[in-house]
Chain A
């Protein structure tokens, strides 16, 4: 079975600081990995996804993530946080003969201090 672990349910950074949200996955086959963002009272918006084409994936709003097979990680980063980045972020995995079913991590709430 696939699983996703997001370290840190809450992360606080200052505006302009580096954002690092951690995600580790468990999968018996090469996975498809996703990062989604959820703003209050809204659905999920795709930030980026990894589908084995390149290990460094660039997404929207200046976010990127690096797939590291040896560490089973897919951490999300952004060089400089903006106030508008405050939201909840979810890492998810699919694949392994489960169709496009997404298995989500517990989420990380990002707070950005002025």
Chain B
């Protein structure tokens, strides 16, 4: 099976712009989660989508949003970019049975976003 894929792998934007990142989960996986990784804050949970619905959300401002399509692919959007949004954005997928707790999450390679 193909793993989790994320596009693009690298992105450079300027402050104030918006950006959309894409994630394709492992075939058959219905849950997609997004995480932000920075040197200062480490790995932080953004949100999780299951069956096209946001099931869980981390403590990020409303500029960060996401969605999931019927084929389980997911996108996340960041509007009005700030310098502090520079990070590696990781997507993870899981089967999502039984509410998801304890399930293994499989991570993609990430999208590295640089905001200038």
Contact = CB atoms under 8 A, between A and B. Distances in A.
A103 B45 contact: yes
Nearest to A104: B43
Interface stretch (A11-19, A67-75, A77-85, A92-100): A92-100
Given A43-B4, A43-B108, A101 B102 contact: no
**Interface magnitude class on chain B:** 20 to 34
Given A43-B108, A44-B90, A104 B42 contact: yes
Range for the number of chain A residues in contact with chain B: 20 to 34
Task: Name, among B42, B58, B94, the residue most crowded by chain A CB atoms within 10 Å (CB to CB).
Answer: B42
A97 to B, nearest CB: 8
A41 B88 CA distance: 9
A32 B43 contact: no
Contacts of B99: 99-100
B42 A32 contact: no
Contact of B58 (A49, A100, A101, A107): A101
A32 B105 CA distance: 12
Contact of A90 (B43, B48, B100, B103): B43
A8 to B, nearest CB: 14
Interface in B72-105: 90, 92, 94, 96, 99-105
A100 B100 CA distance: 5
Interface in A40-83: 41-46, 49, 51
Interface of B: 4, 31, 33, 35, 42-45, 48, 55-56, 58, 90, 92, 94, 96, 99-110
15 contacts: A34-B104, A43-B90, A43-B108, A43-B109, A43-B110, A49-B104, A90-B43, A99-B48, A100-B103, A101-B33, A101-B45, A102-B35, A102-B92, A102-B105, A107-B42
